Amino acid sequence: MSSGLIFAITGVVLFAMGSAGMLLVAHLLRRILAFNLMGSGAFLILVGLAQRGGTPDPVPQAMVLTGIVVAVAATALALALLRKLHTLNGRTELPRVEDD
């Protein structure tokens, strides 16, 4: 088994854990962490699958770098919103939707 494949399989496991967290966990901070786990999983897959013949491919590395910037921005926005929600009504979970 090549090292690239090990990276990719780890990525799949991380992605699955992250998406389960996004869907199942109610605490918002944990959901934000779960999103980051999902993102890291996708990045590992991207870099791992692209390693062919032992030479690293620069294109996915550039993509992952861009992806990390996007994920940091999204995390910052989510954290800011969570803090705002917490100061407004002291909660760290979303209210239930009544008509759904």
Partner 1 sequence: MIDPLIWLILLPLAWATLAFLLGPGRGARTAIAGLSLQLWLAFDLAMKIGAGGPALHAVGGWGAPLGIDLAADGLSAVMLLLAQSVALPLALYARAYFAPDKTETRYFWPLIGFLLAGLNALFLSADLFNLYVTLELVGLAAVGLVAAGGGAAQVAAALRYLFAALLGSSMYLLGVALIYGAYGTVSLVTLEPLLTADAPRIVWMAGGLMLAGLLLKTALFPFHYWLPPAHASAPAPVSALLSALVVKASFYLILRLWLGPFAPLVGALAWLPMLLGAGAIFWGSWQAIRTPHLKMLVAWSTVAQLGYLFLIFPLLATTGALQAGVMQAVAHGLAKAAMFMAAGVLIKATGQDMVAGLAGVAQRLPLTLFSFGLAGVTLMGLPPSAGFLAKWLLIEAALAQGYWFIALVALAGGLLAAGYVFRVLRQAFLLAPVAYAIAAVPRTLEWTAFALATASVLLGLRGVELMALLAAGSAP
Q: Does 33 bind partner 1 (CB under 8 A)?
A: no
Q: Does residue 9 belong to the site contacting partner 1 (CB under 8 A)?
A: no
Which spans in the chain are helix H? 3-24, 28-49, 58-89
Beta bridge partners of 55: 52
Closest alpha carbon to 41 in 69, 15, 76 = 15
> Which member of 10, 17, 19, 30 binds partner 1 (CB under 8 A)?
19
**Member of 6, 24, 65, 81 binding partner 1 (CB under 8 A):** 81
21 lies in the site for partner 1, by CB under 8 A: no
